[in-house]
Amino acid sequence: MGAGAGYNVHINGLKLGDVLEKELIKGKEPYEDYWRLKIAIVPGEYEIGAESYYDDFFWQVRELGIEPSAKIDSGVAHVEYPSNWEDEDKDWRESVLPNIEGRELDISFLYGAGWVHADLPDDIEIGDVHIPGEFYGSIAKLELHAPDLADAVNSGWKSTFEVEEDDED
């Protein structure tokens, strides 16, 4: 990331709740089949982080050992998950559901791009979500209603200017 390239937002332990909708998408071959699922996000307080190419928005972690957190009020994850094509006799509740519902994921996403800074909005809709670790699906779209998260990230970004001013003194 360089100037105007946006910033990364991290949410640790984002918990997936109930499956709200499901659709099996059939490919040309059975191994190309996958589930398209709409899953509720469990509201709660989550550990967060954010940084740009140049600045860590939450320098308090490094300086004071304070872990930032923010409340997520609601949300929906649009998840694509491989079907269990090796064992077609298994019901989706046996093969897919145990790997999805109640699952906690560390996620990150890039927000904003261009020549000026873009504040994180209260209602976030992201299409490219990174999930490190073992999760065999993907989040094609994430929708969050999270004014507290937006406030924390936006305030964190503004605090980077305070740190720069202190460094000059």
Residue 163 has a pLDDT of 53
The C-alpha atoms of residue 129 and residue 105 are separated, in whole angstroms, by: 11
pLDDT band at 25 (very low <50, low <70, confident <90, very high): very high
**Residues 130-167: pLDDT tens digits?**
999 888 889 999 999 999 999 999 888 877 776 555 45
Tell me the longest C-alpha to C-alpha distance in the chain. Answer: 69
| Residue extents of the structural domains in the chain | 7-168
State pTM to two decimals: 0.84
**Higher confidence at residue 128 or residue 158?**
128
Tell me the C-alpha to C-alpha distance, in Å, between residue 95 and each of 76, 85, 136: 21, 10, 12
Do the strands 74-82 and 129-130 form a parallel or antiparallel pair, or are they unpaired? unpaired
Most confident of 27-41, 57-71, 104-118: 27-41
Q: Across residues 87-100, what is the average pLDDT?
A: 72
Q: How crowded is the C-beta side of 46, counted as CA atoms within 13 Å?
A: 29
Residue 136 has a pLDDT of 84
Residue 90 has a pLDDT of 64
Residue 107 φ then ψ, to 5°:
-130, 160
The C-alpha atoms of residue 140 and residue 37 are separated, in whole angstroms, by: 10
Q: Give SS3 for 16.
A: strand
Residue 2 has a pLDDT of 41
Q: Nearest CA to 9 among 169, 153, 155?
A: 153
Residue 1 has a pLDDT of 39
Q: Give SS3 for 114.
A: coil
The C-alpha atoms of residue 63 and residue 67 are separated, in whole angstroms, by: 11
**Residues 47-92: pLDDT tens digits?**
999 888 777 777 777 777 778 999 999 999 999 988 875 555 567 7
pLDDT at residue 29 greater than cutoff 60: yes
